[in-house]
Amino acid sequence: MALFNDYMKIARLIKKSKNIFLMAHKNLDLDALGSQIGMDNILKKKKKNTFLIIDEKTHEKGVEKVLRELEGCINIIKGEEVEKNLYPKTSKNLLIILDTNKEELVQNSKVLDFFSNKIIIDHHDLGVTTIEDALIIQDSSTSSTCEMITKLLEYYDMDIEPYYATLLLAGIVLDTNNFTLNTTVDTFYAAYHLTRMGASAKKVQYLLKQDIEEYAERQQLLTSLETINNKIAFTKGTTHMEYRKEDLAKVADTLLFFNNIEASFVIGRIGKNTIGLSARSLGNYDILNILEKLGGGGDSTSGAATFEDTTISKVEQNLKKLIKEEGE
């Protein structure tokens, strides 16, 4: 009933709005982009003017494929273009933030000031930097934001075209690691509902296909693999190798498949002077507490942190100290 009431609130705000802007987090993945495009479909059926805010120029492979395929079909603008696309009457503008609730993680935090009406739809836990002046629809028991948008489609009793249903399914598959993590009966029902609309499992696999060279680079991370307290998997990259954030995340996902492992931490260089940390948990180990102490964030099953002007060994030292304290 609570979720139904939340969707009623969303419907009311959508109904009174003319121009609606959709924004997700930095480093777009298929859950963020899929939920943006799924929401865009709902709004277009409601005859709304829609704008997807995407500032990034480079993307991970799946997102890149989708944006290339949909070129000219969706209205993408940069954050600096928001102001000139606002409806003259301020109350008729609406910003919907998807797959994040943190101010520092959105594509462009400057655009927040343009909107008195905001909605957040997210499955990640709230935190100290959560955007407060918004209608917050948050459900950490849900696998993905794409699953939440699928439920909104059900609320509206609305079908979308097979291609767009496929994008929502891809977001669910990505965030559940092929239905192995944070998956409930509702997740499987959402997948069924999307498949009924024509979502293609084959197309999902195409969008999630990996580059063989990137896969080989990720495998090198496993050469430093060690376990802590017999339940935490830890590994790190070498100082000369640079990874993408999603590479660290995929390795962290993989480590959860080993026997007895309840949580995983992966450290690697993601920029000239930037170190990244990705963490995953099956839900029995509090990775969020550790990540927040390191200046990062996430939720009970996944999260990350970034560090500037430091070394992999220093990040490793601080992480292991916190893991030790957590175990005492």
Q: Are residues 88 and 161 in the same domain?
A: yes
Distance, CA of 252 to CA of 256 (rounded, Å): 7
The per-residue pLDDT for 328 is 56
Model pTM? 0.83
Q: Are residues 202 and 218 in the same domain?
A: no
Q: CA-based angle 179:153:36, to the nearest 5?
A: 75
Q: Is 151 exposed, middle or buried (0-12, 13-18, 19+ CB in 10 A)?
A: buried
Q: Are residues 244 and 279 in the same domain?
A: yes
Q: Are residues 203 and 77 in the same domain?
A: yes
Distance, CA of 301 to CA of 233 (rounded, Å): 14
User: Mind listing the pLDDT tens digit for each residue in 205-264?
Assistant: 999 887 777 777 778 888 889 999 889 999 999 888 888 888 898 899 989 989 999 999
Q: Are residues 202 and 217 in the same domain?
A: no
Question: What is the arrangement of strands in the sheet containing 49-53, beginning at the earlier edge strand?
Answer: 76-77, 49-53, 19-23, 93-98, 118-122, 135-138
Distance, CA of 175 to CA of 298 (rounded, Å): 13
Q: Are residues 15 and 126 in the same domain?
A: yes
Q: Is 8 exposed, middle or buried (0-12, 13-18, 19+ CB in 10 A)?
A: exposed
Full DSSP string of 275-289? EEEEEEE-SSS-HHH
Q: Are residues 180 and 321 in the same domain?
A: no
Number of domains in the chain: 2
The per-residue pLDDT for 284 is 86
| 3 state SS of 90 | helix
Domain end marker among 190, 207, 224:
207
Domain end marker among 207, 224, 240:
207
Q: Facing residues of 138 across strands?
A: 122
Q: Are residues 263 and 161 in the same domain?
A: no
Q: For residue 75, what is the domain's CATH number? A: 3.90.1640.10
Q: Are residues 202 and 220 in the same domain?
A: no
> First-to-last CA distance in the chain?
41
Q: Are residues 36 and 184 in the same domain?
A: yes
Residue ranges of the chain with pLDDT lower than 70? 1-3, 328
User: Which residue's entry shows tokens 């944070």?
Assistant: 182
Q: Are residues 322 and 239 in the same domain?
A: yes
Q: Are residues 83 and 218 in the same domain?
A: no
The per-residue pLDDT for 1 is 44
The per-residue pLDDT for 250 is 87
Domain end marker among 207, 241, 256:
207
The per-residue pLDDT for 239 is 87
Q: For residue 299, what is the domain's CATH number? A: 3.10.310.30
Residue 22 structural domain: 2-207
The per-residue pLDDT for 65 is 95
Which token pair is 174?
A: 């990505």
